[in-house]
Structure 1
Amino acid sequence: MHLSNESLLVILFVGIVAGWLAGRVMDGGGFGLIGDLVVGLVGAFIGNWLLPQLGIHLGVGLVAAIINAFIGAVVLLLILRLIGGGFGGRRRWSV
């Protein structure tokens, strides 16, 4: 499989946008550029696997790819919060 420079840029763009959106929606401030990229890219893989298993097909194109990756990134963040006991949120310590 050969990826052109343009397709690599599209994958990186989709990952960054999806990770950033998921970080905002999941009550966090994001994870920085690299963290958002990783969350978005892993979320894209999860979304590409999970949504067809549920019978959901969003179509083709850049917007569909971003929505697909965003849904996968939100699922990834939910799983990480369940396993890790919550992260990224502000914790208040009472005295």
Structure 2
Amino acid sequence: MASSSDSWLWELNEASRLANDISAMISERGSLPPSGPDIQHHTSSIRRKITILGTRLDSLESLLSKLPSKQPISDKELHKCQDMLSNLRSKAKTDGF
């Protein structure tokens, strides 16, 4: 059975993949016509994914705060997880979402 930290890392990787997907979609938006149903649908999809990413990041933060009580992990490992989450949040803000 996977440990709590393993499932947390899996969730972080999923959030990271979602952030990369959003970045790619934002880049693709430039190749679409400036108006019309295609750009509206594309923009809607981006907004939906940004909302999902924000929810996942908040959930990861909450889970991280509970992780030491569910499974003993070292302070070093906890700080590493906190740094990874902080870096992903920063990437999302830097990329404009």
Same fold at TM > 0.5: no
What is the TM-score normalised by the length of structure 2?
Answer: 0.30
Higher relative contact order (CA closer than 8 Å, sequence separation 6+): 2
Flag the structure with higher helix content: 2
What is the TM-score normalised by the length of structure 1?
Answer: 0.31
